[in-house]
A and B are shown apart, each in its own frame.
Chain A
Amino acid sequence: MNSIKFLYAAYIATWLIHSLYIGSLVRRYSRLRQQIKDLGKGK
């Protein structure tokens, strides 16, 4: 059974989903940091 490509596909898909989610967390963190900085400037 030539199924090794399915195994690789599943592992790659798993880490792709995790990477996308971690990327979204990093993006949200940096946006929030900017928001906090702007709040500080406002004072």
Chain B
Amino acid sequence: MRRAFPILAVLTALFLVYAFYQALWVAPTDALQGDVYRIIYYHVPSAWTAFLLFFINFIASMQYLANARPSTALAARWIVIAIGIVGFVAPFIPQVRQELPTGMYPSSVATTTLIITGLYFVIGKYFVDQDLDVLAVTTAEVGVVFCSIVLVTGPIWARPVWGIWWAPGDIRLTSTLVLWLIYVSYLVLRRFSDSAQTQQLAAVLAVFGALDVPLVYFSIWYFRTQHPQPVIGGGGSMDPRMLHVLLISWMAFLCFAFLVCWSRFRLEKLRREAEEAEALESLLEIAAPSSAVKAPIGGGSK
């Protein structure tokens, strides 16, 4: 697997260059905004990637907490299956369908629920015990990087289009900033806390923090905001050529995020192994002089 990394890195770099070319030269210019709208090809994929990473962090944290006892792990599994079934069936019930916002299709809600349920079991299969915690810290850190890009590129786009850098009180903007702050505090907690329960505390914080993700995502569906309407569904519309470039850009950023997560995951594993080795070495150093003192005493009695 380690040999595959450089090959994947080169392929991802080429894909990013291709996405950059598509975003700047192939995508048509927006009639109202001009070329500045092309910021969405970095802003929106970064936001989607951040949401996905925070969601993986949520699942990993949930599993880390649930796996503390076999009974809770089993209960969590059945709860996820129940949520999957309800989420798959409920959108097709006429009363529920009426409550869905314009542009949100029951089939897309059902598919998303299935993907979420599947993701829970896939993560549970390939990541166990401490690996879940390593995955959680990895996705939180890389997610914060992508969320930072969202918070920087958003105002850069807003200045020429809205005439202001930031719309105070706007729910989409404020909830995104809160989301970023929650995950920054999560990373600060992990970095500076020496408590033996840091991992559990961080996992609990991550579970609560993840509740902000749907609020950010659906804020433009349910509230009137300065922020533009969703580009996919939700009543928003986009030129198919623009949408095509947007999806290419997202795929390129997803590949990039995967590689960065891979590196960060390996770094965290190595760091923990080094810490364990260091602790073991210290223990041996403590044990060595005492055995040296005891040996002659034992030898003398014989």
- To the question of whether A and B form a pair in one complex, the answer is yes
Across the interface, do B34 and A3 meet the contact criterion of CB distance under 8 Å? Answer: yes
Q: What is the distance, in angstroms, from A38's C-beta to the closest C-beta of chain B?
A: 9
Number of A-B contacts (CB under 8 A): 76
Whether, in the assembled complex, B153 has its beta carbon less than 8 Å from a beta carbon of chain A, the answer is: yes
The interface stretch among B53-61, B71-79, B101-109, B264-272 is B264-272
Residues of B within 8 A of A39 (CB): 274, 277-278, 281
Give which listed residue, A9, A11, A17, A35, contacts B274 with CB less than 8 A.
A35
Contacts A1-B34, A11-B42, A25-B267; A36 near B149 (Cβ below 8 A): no
Among residues of B, the one whose C-beta sits closest to the C-beta of A42 is B281
Whether, in the assembled complex, B172 has its beta carbon less than 8 Å from a beta carbon of chain A, the answer is: no
Q: Bound complex: CA of A1 vs CA of B31, how far in Å? A: 11
Give residues 1-41 of A contacting B (CB, 8 Å).
Answer: 1, 3-4, 6-7, 9-11, 13-14, 17-18, 21-22, 25, 28-29, 32, 35-36, 39
Residues of A within 8 A of B46 (CB): 14
Contacts A1-B36, A35-B274; A6 near B157 (Cβ below 8 A): yes
In the A-B complex, list the 8 residue pairs whose CB atoms are closest, starting with the nearest. Answer: A3-B36, A3-B160, A10-B153, A10-B156, A10-B39, A1-B34, A21-B145, A14-B42
Q: How many residues of A contact B (CB 8 A)?
A: 23
Whether, in the assembled complex, B33 has its beta carbon less than 8 Å from a beta carbon of chain A, the answer is: yes
Give which listed residue, B42, B156, B271, contacts A32 with CB less than 8 A.
B271
Q: Bound complex: CA of A29 vs CA of B152, how far in Å? A: 27
Across the interface, do B260 and A21 meet the contact criterion of CB distance under 8 Å? Answer: yes
Q: Bound complex: CA of A29 vs CA of B33, how far in Å? A: 43
Across the interface, do A10 and B157 meet the contact criterion of CB distance under 8 Å? Answer: yes
Across the interface, do A7 and B38 meet the contact criterion of CB distance under 8 Å? Answer: yes
Whether, in the assembled complex, B35 has its beta carbon less than 8 Å from a beta carbon of chain A, the answer is: yes
Q: Bound complex: CA of A25 vs CA of B38, how far in Å? A: 29
Residues of B within 8 A of A43 (CB): 281
Q: Bound complex: CA of A28 vs CA of B149, how far in Å? A: 22
Residues of B within 8 A of A18 (CB): 145, 149, 256
Give residues 30-48 of B contacting A (CB, 8 Å).
Answer: 33-36, 38-39, 42-43, 46
Whether, in the assembled complex, B159 has its beta carbon less than 8 Å from a beta carbon of chain A, the answer is: yes
Residues of A within 8 A of B260 (CB): 21-22, 25
Residues of A within 8 A of B36 (CB): 1, 3-4, 6-7
Among residues of B, the one whose C-beta sits closest to the C-beta of A16 is B152
Whether, in the assembled complex, B98 has its beta carbon less than 8 Å from a beta carbon of chain A, the answer is: no
Across the interface, do A25 and B270 meet the contact criterion of CB distance under 8 Å? Answer: no
Contacts A17-B148, A17-B149, A39-B278; A1 near B42 (Cβ below 8 A): no
Q: List 9 A-B contacts (CB under 8 A).
A: A7-B36, A10-B39, A11-B39, A17-B145, A17-B149, A21-B145, A25-B267, A28-B271, A35-B278
